[in-house]
Amino acid sequence: MYFPHTRKRRLRQNQSIRNLSQEHRLSADDLIWPVFILDGFNRSEQVQSMPGVQRMSVDLLLDKLHKLVDKGLNAVALFPVVDKAFKSDDASEAWNPEGLVQKAVKTIKSEIPNLLVITDVALDPYTSHGQDGIINDQGQILNDVTIKALVMQAQSHADAGADMVAPSDMMDGRIGEIRAAFEQKKRHNVGILAYSAKYASVFYGPFRDAVGSAGNLGKSSKETYQMNPGNAREAIDEIQMDIDEGADMVMIKPGMPYLDIIKTAKDYFNVPICAYQVSGEYAMLQSAINNGFLDEKGAVMESLLCFKRAGCDAILTYYADRVIHWLDAS
Ligand code: PBG
């Protein structure tokens, strides 16, 4: 009879030894909570395709943020639900200093100064057609014209007090232009979290429902600027470009189906790597949970631990609020 000298099960036999030998962990420090904000006061709406996620006016959001920050939440990412009346072909509402996002940033930073506020830089909530850029008569997205608008949008977020801006538009060269504009205005400390490897993904469907851009976008796609899901090496070029242009942190998006890209990014680059567990991933998990097919806490915590194992430093997840409470209770 052959007895193995190495028994991997020795380090699995009880909780204490499993704790000692665990390589990766999830903590409240890793989380960024994406939230959908509404204009007005005391307003909250359920997002139909994301059961358990609400769009909220900023007063209601603040109540939640106070509690979450007490329990260790570091950062929030704001996504505005923009009224149809404010959408246009040139997206000019995007840099209105009194716009929904700009006002929300001011309020949150004045009430909870320690909470990092990250804003989305992209035109899709503000364009009448739902694309992330300015289009010409043929419907083509104009890269360099769009960048001028993105710079104004990013400046207005910085003016309002945003800690970091997160360009999610995937235009070529926008990180460099935004960085240059910030430096010129002496905004040396406003960071850029670049959505560098953002794929043209079906998993964004529920988000577009949540912010109300789905109807405007119709059947047109974002494939001329977001990445092809069949490509991996191209992500290295995208990330390299953004770092060279001044990105402080980079994002891979979606998350769970793209863990290979996260791993590659971690191996190649030294800046913090962030990933987004997007709306479709949330919808997938939550539908199974609500049907009783998956255990909620178990499934969510495992999915996020896997982001850490792949190499993530920070994770955007719609579960951040629940996870903070679970971690606090454990
Ligand atoms: C918009 C933006 C999108 C998401 C974040 N910022 C949607 C898109 O590119 O169509 C998706 C987030 C999610 O699905 O949770 N630029």
Report domain extents, the chain.
25-329
Is 278 a pocket residue for ligand 1 (Cβ < 6 Å)? yes
pLDDT, tens digit (0-9, with 9 covering 90-100), for 73-95: 999 999 999 999 999 999 999 99
Cα–Cα dist 163/154, whole Å? 11
Is 23 annotated to bind a ligand? Reply is no
Give the CA distances from residue 44 to residues 13, 65, 117, 132, in Å, rounded to whole numbers and listed in that order: 47, 15, 21, 26
Query: Which ipTM did the prediction report?
Result: 0.97
Q: Answer whether 118's CB lies under 8 Å from 77's CB.
A: yes
Question: Which of ligand 1's atoms lies nearest the C-alpha of 120?
Answer: 6
> Is the CB of 208 within 6 Å of ligand 1?
yes
Q: What is the per-residue pLDDT across 313-323, written as a single tens digit (0 to 9) for each? A: 999 999 999 99
Q: How is residue 244 written in tokens?
A: 């060279």
Active-site residue, from 198, 266, 297, 308: 198
Let me know: does 122 contact 150? Beta carbons within 8 Å.
Answer: yes
- Mean per-residue pLDDT, 51-79: 98
Q: Determine the distance separating the centroid of ligand 1 and the alpha carbon of 52, expressed in angstroms.
A: 18
Where on the phi/psi map is residue 130: left (φ > 0), alpha (ψ -120 to 50), or beta? left
User: Does the CB atom of residue 281 touch ligand 1 within 6 A?
Assistant: no
Task: Give the pLDDT of residue 212.
Answer: 84
C-alpha 195/C-alpha 199 separation (Å) is 10
The residues facing 80 across adjacent strands are: 37
pLDDT 10s digits, 247-299: 999 999 999 999 999 999 999 999 999 999 999 999 999 999 999 999 999 99
Average pLDDT, the chain: 96
pLDDT of residue 132 exceeding 80 = yes
Kind of pairing, strands 31-38 and 314-317?
parallel
Task: Enumerate residues 6+ apart whose C-beta is below 8 A from 233.
Answer: none
CB contact at 8 A, 82 and 94: no
Mutual angle of helices 279-290 and 296-310, in 10-degree steps: 150
The contacts of residue 117 (CB under 8 Å, 6+ apart) are: 75, 76, 78, 105, 108, 109, 161, 162, 163, 164
- Quick one: pLDDT band at residue 61, thresholds 50, 70, 90? very high
Q: Is the peptide bond before 80 cis (omega within 30 degrees of 0)?
A: no
What distances in angstroms separate CA 37 from CA 56, 116, 127, 149, 175, one per listed residue?
5, 16, 17, 22, 25
pTM score: 0.97
Helix or strand run (H / E) with residue 120: strand 116-121
How far is residue 195's CA from residue 314's CA, in Å, rounded to a whole number? 13
Q: Is 207 in the pocket of ligand 1 (CB under 6 A)?
A: yes
Q: Taking phi first (over 0 means left), then psi (-120 to 50 degrees means alpha), and beta for anything else, what does residue 294 get? A: beta
pLDDT, residue 251, reads 98
Distance 63 CA to ligand 1 centre (A): 25
Check pocket membership of 174 for ligand 1, CB cut-off 6 A: no
Q: Which of 306, 285, 305 is nearest to 295 (CA)?
A: 285
Higher pLDDT, 120 or 1: 120
Q: DSSP per residue over 64-78, as a string?
A: HHHHHHHTT--EEEE
Q: Ligand 1 pocket check: which of 82, 278, 281 to mutate, most ligand atoms within 8 Å of Cβ? A: 278
Mean pLDDT, rounded, for 163-168: 98
CA-closest residue to ligand 1 atom 14: 204
Residue whose CB lies within 8 A of the most ligand 1 atoms, among 165, 168, 202, for a mutation test: 168
198: annotated active-site residue = yes
The CATH number, out of the four listed (3.40.50.300, 3.30.70.20, 3.10.20.600, 3.20.20.70), of the domain defined by the range 25-329: 3.20.20.70
pLDDT-based confidence at residue 151 (cuts at 50, 70, 90): very high
**Which of ligand 1's atoms lies nearest the C-alpha of 278?**
15
103 is catalytic: no
